[in-house]
Every structure is written in C-alpha cells, then in structure tokens.
Structure 1
Amino acid sequence: MNGLLLSQEYNRLRAFIAVAECLSFSRAADQLGVSPSALSQMIKSLEDEVGMRLLHRTTRNVSLTETGENLFQRVRPAAFELGLAVTQVRQSGERPAGTVRVHTFRSAYQKHVEPIVEAFTEAFPDIVLDMTLDDEVVDIVAGGYDVGLRIGEVIEKDMVAVRLGPELRQVAVATPGYLQRYGYPEHPRDLVNHRCIRWRWPGRATPYAWEFFDKNGWFSVTVDGPLIFSDKESALNATLRGIGIGFPVEDAVSAYIGKGSLVSILDQWSAPFPGLFLCYPQQRRMAPALRAFIDVVRAGPPHSQDSSADIP
C-alpha cells in the first residue's frame, strides 16, 4: 500500500474515532478542523470500504452500530498510542510543567483517572494535578478548571467532548426480600406505589426523576420513598439492605445481580444513554501540561481498555 493510501486510511479512521468519541458530527468536525460534510464523506467512504454500516444517524442523534462499537474499541488504543507518540516528539523540547485543574465526577475519577495517576506523576514530575472530585454540574470555564470528566448529557454545547467509554444503562433493582414483601412493579409508573431509594444531584433541591424508554421515547417517573441521598454509593447500600428499590447504573450492580443479592426489574424500559466524556474548551494552542493529561486519560491504563463506569 503506498503512502497516499495509508494517509487516506489513517484519516478515515481518525474521522471515525472522533465521531465515535463525540457522538456528534458537528463536534467531531470542530475537533478535526474540517467541515461536517467532509467528515460525513470520510465516514461514508470508510463504511463503503468495510462493507458495513458503522453509525446510526438521525437528525438529532448519532450512535454506533455493533460493528462500529467493535471497530472503535479495537482501533482507538492504537490511534491514541500514535497520537501520544507524536505529542511526546512535539513536546520533546518543551517539558510539560505547571498545574492542570480538573473537575471530575467521583465515578469518572475512580474509573479513568485513578488508574493512571501513579504513572502520570512519574512520567510528568513537573505537572501538578489539582483535582476537584464533585458530582455537582459546574461551568468548567467559569469555575477556573482546565478540563472536566462527566456524563454526556450535562456537557456544555461549546465544549470539546471526547468519549471515554461505552454507553451506560440505569436499571431498577431490589433485593429478593423486598420484592417478596412488596411485589413486582409491572410498569415504571407502578413505582409510585413502591418505596424507592432516591438520589439528588448535588446543588439541586429536588430528587432526580427516574427516566425510562418506550416506543414513544424517553419518559420520567417521579418516585417516592423513605430515603434521599446525594451520594450514589450510599443509595446502593440502602438498596442492598432491602429498604427499597434503587436505580443505579447497571455496571455498578451486575455482580450483585449475578449472585442473586439484587434482582433487576423493568428491564424492557431501560435504554442506554451517553456515558462518560472528557471535556475541555476549544483552544488554538493547548498548554503542554493539559495536552499530556488529556492524552494519557484518553489512552487509559495500558492493562485495560474497558471504560464502562457508573454515573455520579
């Protein structure tokens, strides 16, 4: 394969990775510095080459097909390694130094930052990571932060957003003992007659309304119950004690469901939603310290490419 074909192949894969990370053609185009129409053509060319559809497109949403998700998980690590190598060469005469101010949801820190902190601090001894672990949704720029990690649905429109893992799914769960005592809800709206363990976004006055999906789209149910938490782990612990029905992210409770400590209910109304993203303001020239942090978090720990995570 000659150099031109290699360049075209790389550009198509780079375009695909950007769309898969952002789940938005416009955001990905801004990130790559190309027009949305040119980006769309590159994706079409890649789909023609592999002979399969990689993305589901509507006027409002972009999502990965199963084939697209498999390709994304395989090519992303190699692309990040290449990008990191280029960054290191570019910065070889400019040692990254200074403070990077990070605002991250607790679950995002545990999944995507904590595993790389030791290696990062050893590789970049002149960088200080000033990390705020907070589940409140704040304005990254107004708060004086350089970068944030949060779920896709609460990212500001003008931010560059890079997907860190697959979509997430919330599921209603309860202990077998609770269900034996109070019965099974047959529809999400039946939850209004059950004891639910509620959760409130930090900084907000009212608890989160549980969201479900049917043929007409997303709908919410305002549940009631004896406990309201601002901490997801505490809400899960109360659910495990049989106090009521909880609504955690599936990955956080899959082990409990597998061993029978919890029972998943109302599964047919639980649909996936955008997972965790790394987000930062658009900028012409990024500080080397921030560039290094973003590259390492995107690449992930070398021993694992599993990026699923709980929401805060």
Structure 2
Amino acid sequence: MLKENFNELQIFLVVARERSFTKAAGKLGVSQSALSHAMKALEERLNIRLLTRTTRSVAPTEAGERIIACLEPRIDELEQELESLIQQNGTPSGNIRLSAGEHAARSLVWPKLKPFLRKYPEISVELVVDNGFVDIVEGRFDAGIRLGENVDKDMVAVRIGPDMRMAVVGAPAYFAANPAPETPHELQNHRCINIRLPTAGGLYHWEFEREGKALRVKVDGQLTCSPLPERIDAALSGFGIACVPEDMVQEYITSGKLIQVLQEWCPTFPGYYLYYPSRKQHPPAFALLIDALRYTE
C-alpha cells in the first residue's frame, strides 16, 4: 500500500502543480484517463478528497494543500540527494530552472550559458524569460535573475553583472526635427516610446536622478512597446525617444546612429543578481551554474 500511495502521491503533486490533468498528462507521458483513474484510486483509498475539479481547472483542496506542504520538500530533498550520489560517481547532471528578465537573459545569462551547456552536456537548463516580478518558489524555479534592488532580503543573492546605466536615446533625424530635451520634464513635449509594466499593467514612468534628487516622469508617444529589441529599432527608425539599457545601444551611440541625451540624469545603479531561497537545498549542478554566472571584475 505504501508503494502505491507514494507513486500516486507523486502523480498528485504534478497535477496540483500544473493545475490541469491535460498538462500533467503531457509532462508525465501518460493519458488523462490514467491520471484520473490514479487520482480517484488514491482519494478512495485515503478516504480524502485531494482535488477540486471544474470544467476548466483543477485545484488542491485544503487537505491536498496540507499534503503538498508536507510531501513537496521531502520529494525535492530526495531528488537532490539522488542527484548528488549520481554525480559523485560520474559526470555532473541535473535539471535547473531559471527565471530572468529579457535584458538579463540576452546580455548576461545566454552568453555565459552557451559554454556552460557545452562543458556539462548532462545538465539541462530551462530559461524562462519574463519581465514581470516572478515568485520563484511558487513557480518552482531554482533561481531568479533580477536587478539587485528588486531581490527580497530573505533570498541568497549572487552578483552576476556589473553596475548598469540607462540611456535616453533618439535618432539624429528625430532630433533634427525636435530640439533635444535638456531636462527630464521636457520629455513630455516629445514623442517617447512607452513601456507597459508586465506585473502592474500600467505604463512605466521613466526614472531619473541627479545630485541625490530622484525624479519620475510620465511620457507619451505614438508607440507602446515592451520588447527591448523592438524599442531600440523604433528609436533607430525615428519613432521617438527610448529609454533602454546603455549597454544595448552603446554601439549605435558610438556610430552616431543614435544620440544620447540627459546623461547627467542617468546615474549607474546595481546590476543583476541571481537569487534563490536560503532554506532550499540545491544539487551540485546548481553550484556549477552559479560559478559560471558569477560576476568577476
């Protein structure tokens, strides 16, 4: 009975995490009917209802949540211990899930991830790009990558990039027709390329600082565009002024394809950090990835 319960409890965990029999079946490589039968058998044997089912979703009951809270860390601990034992006898292996914003993924993570994956072919990495604030525990990520100012204090944080600076830029043709702003407030008289915040849903107010004075400016324009490459291309094409990470447009500034303004209002700030829960144990493969991403001056 213990073996049957354990197997079916593992199935229950996957269904509860995915909140869908269809997604869970795909992940486990079995049919939906087999999953449904296994869950029904488990609930009948335990005489406890573990899942609330609707036509559109599946969610754990209160009893199911209690079992998840008890079982999940033990399953994770067992998997990590098995990975450690395997790696003691051979090549490092394991699966690592990372959540990162678009700029961090493009400029820092992927360039370092390519040689890492070639060096450790038995380690699999899932990189999920999301510019919103992600709960890495709820999302079952091993780690997240965000700006240092956005990392919770109860997380272990490892610096993976240098200090950053934003750049306010526009095409020469745009500034030929529109005098360059001399203060952030003058941006309100310009066409600016807006950014919609993925978490809150509102438009991003551009942030500036000078001599200790912080300033947030609401801008307007014809185009609202969140993806970074398209914002840069829009600025290059003369659709307005963009506020983007300086490192992503430095080559265009140097070549004269973009003109940078308001530099004195754009100080440097702490860059990206990899962070993870302090209480969570990680396999050796995770430590190898941290070393590969760690920032060294």
Is TM more than 0.5 here?
yes
Q: Which residue of 1 aligns with 2:236?
A: 240
Name the CA distance, whole Å, in 2 between partners of 1:239 and 1:206. Answer: 21
Name the CA distance, whole Å, in 1 between partners of 2:260 and 2:118. Answer: 42
Moved more, 165-174 or 277-286: 277-286
Letter in 2 for 1:280: Y
Q: Which residue of 2 aligns with 1:215?
A: 211
SS at match of 1:278: strand
Moved more, 112-121 or 138-147: 112-121
Q: Which residue of 1 aligns with 2:293?
A: 297
Residue deviations 1:21-61 (CA, integer Å, cap 9, x gap): xxxxxxxxxxxxxxxxxxxxxxxxxxxxxxxxxxxxxxxxx
1:107 counterpart = 2:103: yes
Please give the TM-score of this superposition, normalised by the length of structure 1. 0.63
Of 129, 133, 136, the match for 1:133: 129
1:145 counterpart = 2:135: no
CA contact (8 A) 2:174 2:240 kept: yes
CA contact (8 A) 1:166 1:274 kept: yes
Q: Which residue of 1 aligns with 2:200?
A: 204
Residue deviations 1:200-258 (CA, integer Å, cap 9, x gap): 23233211111111224211111111111121111111111111111111111111111
CA contact (8 A) 1:199 1:232 kept: no
CA contact (8 A) 2:225 2:231 kept: yes
Q: Which residue of 1 aligns with 2:168?
A: 172
Please give the TM-score of this superposition, normalised by the length of structure 2. 0.66
Listed as ranges, the matches of 1:30-69 within 5 Å are none
Q: Which residue of 2 aligns with 1:280?
A: 276
Q: In 2 relative to 1, CA 288–264 (structure 1 residues): closer, same or farther, beyond 3 Å?
A: same
SS at match of 1:212: strand
Name the CA distance, whole Å, in 2 between partners of 1:266 and 1:256. Answer: 17
Task: Report which of the two structures shows the higher radius of gyration computed on alpha carbons.
Answer: 2
Offset, 1:92: 4.7
Offset, 1:118: 4.0
Name the CA distance, whole Å, in 2 between partners of 1:182 and 1:128. Answer: 50
CA contact (8 A) 2:103 2:228 kept: no
Name the CA distance, whole Å, in 1 between partners of 2:220 and 2:280. Answer: 48
CA contact (8 A) 1:195 1:226 kept: yes
Q: Which runs of 4+ in 1 moved over 3 A?
A: 91-96, 116-119
SS at match of 2:247: helix
Residue deviations 1:53-79 (CA, integer Å, cap 9, x gap): xxxxxxxxxxxxxxxxxxxxxxxxxxx
Offset, 1:119: 3.3
SS at match of 2:203: coil
Q: In 2 relative to 1, CA 97–265 (structure 1 residues): closer, same or farther, beyond 3 Å?
A: same
Query: 5+ unaligned residues in a row in structure 2: which ranges?
Result: 1-83
Name the CA distance, whole Å, in 2 between partners of 1:195 and 1:121. Answer: 43
Offset, 1:122: 3.8
Aligned length, in residue pairs = 212
SS at match of 1:113: helix
CA contact (8 A) 1:185 1:191 kept: yes
Of 184, 196, 208, the match for 2:180: 184
Offset, 1:179: 1.3
Q: In 2 relative to 1, CA 296–206 (structure 1 residues): closer, same or farther, beyond 3 Å?
A: same
Identity %: 38
Offset, 1:95: 4.9
SS at match of 1:274: coil
Offset, 1:285: 4.1
What is the CA RMSD across the aligned residues, in angstroms?
A: 2.2
Letter in 2 for 1:181: A
